[in-house]
Structure 1
Amino acid sequence: MRTLSGVIMAGLILALAGCGDDDAKAGGAASSAAPSVSASAPTPPPPPSATATNSPSASASSATTPAQTTPAPDSSAPPSTAGGTAPKTTQGAIARYEEFLHATGREDLDTMCEISSFAAKKAEEEGFGACRSAYTYVLQELISPEQKAALRTATVDPGKITVQGPARVDIPAAAVKASVTFAEDELGTSTLEYIDGNWYVTD
């Protein structure tokens, strides 16, 4: 069963030799640049001054600031699936896959890698590189601008998917409805599984 991730990884085989060297050089450059940051002189603590004694208004205003603002969610934290973010239904799986297709059309690497994190992890363990670099290659080399535009509004036909159980759904390329027709060897069949409260592409 070839998934979009599988098709992607097959295409990456052609680029592994060149990309591997580039990634290694980039990694080396990044690691060589890191010491210069850590080697910079630490900023000395400010000396005690009279500002500490004549800044009651400043400390008072800073003390009232947290009380006046509503704490915002930490947007830097990875999405949590512990509480469940999608219904454990066939429609929930379809909606999640449509989100993945739309993200692919938008070249939204964060969303692509989040939804396909399990499949991407398997691919990385098999030597195909990290998710973001893999998808970057795919978006640049394997998917045409016309296909990307079609994926941005693609939907899934529920009548053409295969429900393997309450927590597993297979979605073939034939089920994807878009302005461009995708063949099985272009898009593949994606398996979505319900894991820790959400649907993920796993194969």
Structure 2
Amino acid sequence: MFARLLPLTTGFALLLTGCSGGADTSSNAPSFPAATSAESGATTQATPSRAKPADDAVGRYEAFLHAIGDEDITTACEIGRLSTKKLEKRGLGPCEETLRGTFQFYSPAEKRALQGATVDRSRVTEDSTGVTIPVDAVKADATFIESELREATMERRDGKWQLVRW
């Protein structure tokens, strides 16, 4: 049994050390047309009238945490596939295999806690390339330490927020 779990344990440890997919990190944020003021002739960049991009990223990360708690591999990989790319290149299998192994590392109580986990948005940082969510920003009915959850980095790729480091 231990021999079968060794590759998953190693893969999970690598995943937790922050391997990223190594893909392009340029921002794919939507652009908004410039507007010219009729009175001054000055050009300004139009901005959306919706929530900050970090809110969208946090919502996607919460969905990822819920998917891990639910053992919903489809949703977890749709959001977190990029975070497992290096592991896949090292022969540890595709996202579905890698994340399925991580389900074993959480107790039933921790999985229930992840199902209802939220993120304290005041702890989230945003820069030009993405959104960083520290472990202590995750609010759940269980306490997670850095080695169990890790800091998460979300980046906008192909119009969606994706987990690139976890």
Q: TM-score, normalised by structure 1?
A: 0.56
String of CA shifts for 1:72-93, please: whole Å, max 9, x gaps: xxxxxxxxxxxx9xx8701000
Q: Could you tell me whether the CA contact under 8 Å between 1:109 and 1:135 is conserved in 2?
A: yes
Q: How far 1:120 moved relative to its partner?
A: 1.7
Q: How far 1:145 moved relative to its partner?
A: 0.6
> Higher Cα Rg: structure 1 or 2?
1
Unaligned runs of 5+ in 1: 1-9, 16-83
**Counterpart among 132, 138, 144 of residue 102 in structure 2:** 138
Cα distance, 1:14–1:190 mapped onto 2, change above 3 Å? closer
Matched, 1:97 2:61: yes
Instruction: State the match for 2:92 in structure 1.
Output: 128
Q: Could you tell me whether the CA contact under 8 Å between 1:193 and 1:201 is conserved in 2?
A: yes
Matched, 1:117 2:81: yes
Q: Could you tell me whether the CA contact under 8 Å between 2:80 and 2:163 is conserved in 1?
A: yes
- Which structure's residues are more often helix, by fraction? 1
Cα distance, 1:123–1:158 mapped onto 2, change above 3 Å? same
String of CA shifts for 1:62-81, please: whole Å, max 9, x gaps: xxxxxxxxxxxxxxxxxxxx
String of CA shifts for 1:6-54, please: whole Å, max 9, x gaps: xxxx962189xxxxxxxxxxxxxxxxxxxxxxxxxxxxxxxxxxxxxxx
Unaligned runs of 5+ in 2: 1-6, 13-29, 31-50
For residues 14 and 116 of structure 1, the distance between their equivalents in structure 2, rounded to whole angstroms, comes to 15
For residues 67 and 162 of structure 2, the distance between their equivalents in structure 1, rounded to whole angstroms, comes to 14
- Which structure's residues are more often strand, by fraction? 2
Q: Which runs of 4+ in 1 moved over 6 A?
A: none
Instruction: State the match for 1:13 in structure 2.
Output: 10
Structure 2 counterpart of 1:126, which letter?
A: R
Q: Could you tell me whether the CA contact under 8 Å between 2:66 and 2:115 is conserved in 1?
A: yes
Q: Could you tell me whether the CA contact under 8 Å between 2:80 and 2:162 is conserved in 1?
A: yes
Instruction: State the match for 1:186 in structure 2.
Output: 148
Instruction: State the match for 1:175 in structure 2.
Output: 137
For residues 140 and 68 of structure 2, the distance between their equivalents in structure 1, rounded to whole angstroms, comes to 13
Structure 2 counterpart of 1:181, which letter?
A: T
Q: TM-score, normalised by structure 2?
A: 0.67
Instruction: State the match for 1:155 in structure 2.
Output: 118
Instruction: State the match for 1:198 in structure 2.
Output: 160
Percent identity, aligned pairs only?
41
